A and B are shown apart, each in its own frame.
Chain A
Amino acid sequence: MQDQALFEYVLRLADDSLILGQRLGEWCGHGPILEEDIALTNISLDLIGQAISLYDLASELEGAGKNHDQLAYLRFENEYKNVLLVEQPNGDFAMTILRQFFFDAFRLPLYEALMQSPVAQLAAIAAKSVKETRYHLKHTSEWVIRMGDGTDESHERAQAAIDHLWRYTSELFFEDNIDEQLQERQLVPSLKGIQANWMETVKAVLSEATLTIPTNNWKFEGGRQGRHSEHMGYILADLQYMQRAYPNMEW
């Protein structure tokens, strides 16, 4: 292993993108309207594209000669380091949009900060992805407002999604010795600043949407250490099927 800490860090980013991209892909052909079906799958495609670049970098850092497919498809559940938020089921449209909104509002400032990273390839991926993420956040913010400030039913569903997902949001800013080590080496930003930025976006959008932030601070975490919710295994069963059934297959 050439750089264990950096490898783990990049893997976390990649797994967040891959699993959320997989979740959004489940909407293909099921969107509430055609435009939204296309939008969700477009966002999914961006996330999976970002995951490919991140896995390529991770593979270089690991130095074990694995390609991005092997990292994406041939690990066991406890080897995936994504946050629990991204593996939560799609639920109704409000649940999917709120999950995406919370994630985009986190990813945008994170990518903006990573553009300054001295790890050149990580900075390049961030610079590329930040442009796409701006579109995602714009799209999800507008939906949150439309639903929150819409009909009684859309408001109720959006609020229910927030109340349910809130417990998964603090994990986005989870830091352990991997983060600390990399921050000390000045390779990655502190997530404290990102969290402040995230909170600002969330407050602005939710207040415009007449939605409220839950006061319950109950939280779940564990994803960053490979401890996942019960949904993860089902995702992997779908995600990994082709590589498990036909090892080393390529399109």
Chain B
Amino acid sequence: MVNAAQIRNYLEEVSDPEIPVLTIIDLGVVQEIYLADHIWIIELTPTYSGCPAMQQIEVDLLAKLQEKGIANAQVKHVLSPAWTTDWISEEGRQKLRMYGIAPPVNESDKSTLFAEPPRVACPKCNSMETRMVSLFGSTACKAQYQCKQCLEPFDYFKCLK
């Protein structure tokens, strides 16, 4: 009989379809895993409301468990508490950097208008001399930046709190 910890281990093999270096465990979207009425319930928290990756993650997750011989699993979406980039693991942050995406930095309160964009280190050359090109990037969770030192354009995984 499999237990919740084992299932969590299996989920380490499921990656984010849009950022394949991250597993869904690194991303912090997997919450409680428990058995209810002989069915394994896997709680998932969406990152952004409209993120199309969430549906793919659900499909991939169930396929992975099926492959491991667990057919009685179901995904339950939980909105509260809302996902935050603080839930991305330290290992996940390292992986993002290696992949060329700057991980989220602690941003000041976004409720203040006219705030300066966050200072983000270039994932290529580590320079802090970077500029925000656009608050919105290739996916809902990213902003576009460019390094003024090495000129590398890069994605920044923006802080969501």
Give the interface of A toward B (CB within 8 A): 35-36, 38-39, 42-50, 52-53, 108, 120-121, 123-125, 127-129, 131-132, 134-135, 137-139, 141-142, 145, 201, 204-205, 208
Q: B-side binding surface: helix, strand, loop or mixed? A: loop
Judging by beta carbons under 8 Å apart, are A205 and B135 in contact?
A: no
Complex CA distance for A81 and B110, rounded to whole angstroms? 30
Can you name the residue of chain A whose Cβ is closest to the Cβ of B54? A49
Q: Mark B63-79, 1 if CB is under 8 A from A, else 0.
A: 00000000000000001
Contact of B82 among A45, A108, A127 (CB under 8 A): A127
Judging by beta carbons under 8 Å apart, are B80 and A45 in contact?
A: no
| Interface CB pairs A-B, < 8 A, 18 | A35-B133, A35-B144, A36-B134, A38-B137, A44-B50, A45-B140, A46-B48, A46-B50, A49-B49, A121-B79, A127-B80, A132-B49, A135-B135, A137-B113, A138-B110, A139-B136, A204-B113, A205-B113
The minimal Cβ–Cβ distance linking B75 to chain A, given in whole angstroms, is: 14
Question: B interface, how many residues as a size bin?
Answer: 20 to 34
Complex CA distance for A21 and B105, rounded to whole angstroms? 29
Give the interface of B toward A (CB within 8 A): 46, 48-52, 79-84, 110-111, 113-115, 133-138, 140, 144, 158, 160-161
Contact of B113 among A38, A50, A138 (CB under 8 A): A138
Complex CA distance for A96 and B43, rounded to whole angstroms? 37
Complex CA distance for A123 and B82, rounded to whole angstroms? 10
Can you name the residue of chain B whose Cβ is closest to the Cβ of A139? B135
Complex CA distance for A206 and B48, rounded to whole angstroms? 29
The minimal Cβ–Cβ distance linking A146 to chain B, given in whole angstroms, is: 12
Q: A-side binding surface: helix, strand, loop or mixed? A: helix
Judging by beta carbons under 8 Å apart, are A39 and B135 in contact?
A: yes
Can you name the residue of chain A whose Cβ is closest to the Cβ of B160? A131
Known A121-B79, A128-B79, A134-B110: A38·B136 in contact at CB below 8 Å: yes
The minimal Cβ–Cβ distance linking A127 to chain B, given in whole angstroms, is: 5
Can you name the residue of chain A whose Cβ is closest to the Cβ of B51? A49
Complex CA distance for A234 and B138, rounded to whole angstroms? 30
Query: What would 10 more interface pairs be, CB under 8 Å, given A123-B80, A125-B79?
Result: A35-B133, A45-B50, A46-B49, A108-B111, A124-B82, A127-B82, A128-B49, A128-B83, A132-B49, A135-B110
Judging by beta carbons under 8 Å apart, are B161 and A46 in contact?
A: no
Known A35-B133, A50-B50: A120·B80 in contact at CB below 8 Å: yes
Of listed B48, B50, B140, residue having the most chain A CB within 10 A: B50
Judging by beta carbons under 8 Å apart, are B113 and A128 in contact?
A: no
Judging by beta carbons under 8 Å apart, are B79 and A39 in contact?
A: no
Known A121-B79, A208-B114: A35·B136 in contact at CB below 8 Å: yes
Known A38-B137, A125-B79, A139-B136: A53·B49 in contact at CB below 8 Å: yes
